[in-house]
Amino acid sequence: MAVIRDVMPSFQLLQPTSVDDAQKLLQQHGQDAWVLAGGLDSFDWLKDRIKRPKAVVDLSGIEELRGIRETSDGVEIGAMTTLTDVVRNPIVKQKYGLLAQAADVVASPQIRNQGTIGGNVSQDARCWYYRAGWPCYRAGGNICYADTPVGRNREHAILHAERCVAVNPSDSAPALIALDAKFVVRTPKGERVVDAEDYFVGPDINITRMTILEPGSLLTAIRIPSTWAGAQFYFEKVRDRNVWDFPLLNVASAMVVSGGNIERIRIAVNAAAARPLRLKGVEDAVRGKPANPATGEMAGKLAVQGAVPLTFNAYKIPLMRNLVKRAIGGVQEAAWAS
Ligand SMILES: Cc1cc2nc3c(=O)[nH]c(=O)nc-3n(C[C@H](O)[C@H](O)[C@H](O)COP(=O)(O)OP(=O)(O)OC[C@H]3O[C@@H](n4cnc5c(N)ncnc54)[C@H](O)[C@@H]3O)c2cc1C
Ligand code: SF4
């Protein structure tokens, strides 16, 4: 990491107190504006002088973006709700424990106290080269430094890579996909509600962004429908250091088992590709089958079909296979995991 001694470029700090005002400011400043939530990703970019916005729109004074409300059909979480508040919320814990589990293993307690759920799902890639300001594809250049025989790509993608091999590092994202959450986005043209899985984009759609958010847009809330309340959940994250670290891979599943058979299931993984992946093929293949080791084994193999390792991340293929296997077998894991 370079030692930086120059003065950080100044920016105009704008502190709206309503979503309407925030949006007006974002539209006014267009490409020159930066949305600031908890700042954990944002300040890295600004302090490293890699992103140099002229105006920073700080959402922390907008009360309507905070808090968790039970609705007639589930729960709505304001985008500026901290990860700690998500983890501690009694409704989330009781009915949507998958999200509480995922949010609880994000980084460290300090980061969860400051980091928001909206920021967690909107955070940028953590590829070393990109974060250090190298002019790669994702930064608008015409090369990928990670995808070379000597590139540092141990943490990178095994699926759906296209020019860029960086991964989405969010822990909460796959849990929200498994819970069939809807993301509420305010765009200059009005409000849009999108399925969690459609909030994220890969390099085939837009290599410079990880979400559908365009300049001038805001994520305002995340709605979790009651469809999966109280289902059988499984979340597992593998990381280098358990104290705090980004996922090397994670898996989240919501399952309803009846008479020993999988009646309904949603399953997603993250840190395998540039966007969190819902494993629709796996869901279709295991529906109606017994929730047992044989089904888990089959699901794990299916999940990694088409995976292509880079020089230093081949370990991710058996890792993903085993995480999916355990997510299907759930608590029975200890008896049959290999
Ligand atoms: C050392 C460290 C370790 C970490 N480890 C993990 C980990 O293990 N797992 C994990 O999941 N995360 C991890 N994170 C990420 C962290 O948890 C935060 O969730 C994340 O950085 C962003 O949240 P934030 O609220 O700080 O948002 P910010 O950093 O302020 O924003 C992040 C990005 O999202 C945009 N944004 C934020 N909110 C909105 C909104 N409402 N509408 C539109 N755009 C928005 C911002 O413009 C910015 O581009 C780690 C971060 C650090 C610094
Ligand atoms: S993996 Fe993506 S972000 Fe990293 S160097 Fe390659 S193009 Fe850039």
What three-state secondary structure class fits 2? coil
Which amino acid, 64?
E
136-195: pLDDT as tens digits: 999 999 999 999 999 999 999 999 999 999 999 999 999 999 999 999 999 999 999 999
Pocket test for ligand 1, best of 106, 199, 209, 219 (most atoms within 8 A of CB): 106
Supply 188's token pair.
């200059």
Separation CA 30–CA 224 (nearest Å) = 31
Whose alpha carbon is nearest atom 3 of ligand 2? 130
Number of H helices, E strands in the chain: 14, 12
Beta bridge partners of 250: 237, 270
49-105: pLDDT as tens digits: 999 999 999 999 999 999 999 999 999 999 999 999 999 999 999 999 999 999 999
Cα 142 to middle of ligand 2, angstroms: 10
Task: Specify the pLDDT at position 7.
Answer: 77
Separation CA 32–CA 288 (nearest Å) = 51
Beta carbon of 130 within 6 Å of any ligand 2 atom = yes
Cα 40 to middle of ligand 1, angstroms: 5
Beta carbon of 251 within 6 Å of any ligand 2 atom = no
Cα 280 to middle of ligand 1, angstroms: 27
Supply 292's token pair.
């047992």
